[in-house]
Structure 1
């Protein structure tokens, strides 16, 4: 399976989870390293767009295609197990707990979670501390230009 990630140039060849570890996110608390990826290029783009102030077009980004081997078992977060307000911003503690538990248990390399932005689409969280992490491969890294109209320009 191929998943996607958009990253600034200086981090384009890294798969460390350090950014999420430093800032936290919907599916992890500060202090827990995890790599956020998306099932499509479009979802990656949307994820960046919702976190960018209107009128600012992100520059210096690269699209990273990441291969998750087909034989890797993926844990799935079921939508019906989440509270009704799981999509809210700022992120609620219950979603952070889901990701933190996934990392703590360390039973799976990948956790499939629903996108909070696009209904019926999914993000894939990769655990850089898992024993099978070295099986994850960067397939390609290519410059990415955002469409200005997405950012109100």
Structure 2
């Protein structure tokens, strides 16, 4: 399965999940490493956009394409019908769930619905997974954001 990650030039080569470990995110508490990616480039862009604090946060981006093993045992697909109804606003819940899944060394990644586009999926990659070496990272490429989008940020 090909997934996509947008990251700043200085951090795109880090595949250890250090940033997520230091700061936490929707699907991981501080102290737990992971890499955030999306099933589509457009969703990765939307995710980056909603977290941008200003126009400058949308510059210097690189696109990293990542191949994840497709066998059923490597990627856990979270069933949103089994999640709490307020999961998108309940960071305690989503971080708890992500921490449980990231503690499973058999899961290279898990897929979750996006809070922005719930019918699309984000992919959380586990750098501590037993088969992490099966994940293939392609050479990152420069990703220029169209000014019609970035100009909407202050």
TM-score normalized by structure 2? Answer: 0.91
**Contact 1:5–1:36 (8 Å) recurs in 2:** yes
Q: Does the residue aligned with 1:11 lie in a helix, a strand or coil?
A: coil
Match of 1:75 in 2: 76
Q: Which runs of 5+ in 2 are unaligned?
A: none
Which portions of structure 1, spanning 4 or more consecutive aligned residues, are displaced by more than 3 angstroms?
Answer: 54-57
Q: Distance in 2 between matches of 1:57 and 1:26?
A: 19
Q: Distance in 1 between matches of 2:15 and 2:55?
A: 29
Match of 2:88 in 1: 87
**Contact 1:16–1:34 (8 Å) recurs in 2:** yes
**Contact 1:4–1:44 (8 Å) recurs in 2:** yes
**Contact 1:82–1:95 (8 Å) recurs in 2:** no
Q: Distance in 2 between matches of 1:55 and 1:69?
A: 35
Q: Which runs of 5+ in 1 are unaligned?
A: none
Q: Distance in 1 between matches of 2:112 and 2:118?
A: 11
Residues 126-137 of structure 1 correspond to what in structure 2 (within 5 A)? 126-137=125-136
Offset, 1:68: 0.9
1:19-77 deviation digits (Å, cap 9, x = unpaired): 11111011000000011110010001000100013555611110000011233631111
Tell me if 1:34 matches 2:34.
yes
TM-score normalized by structure 1? Answer: 0.91
Cα RMSD after superposing both structures: 1.6
Size of the aligned set, in residue pairs, is 151
Tell me if 1:62 matches 2:48.
no
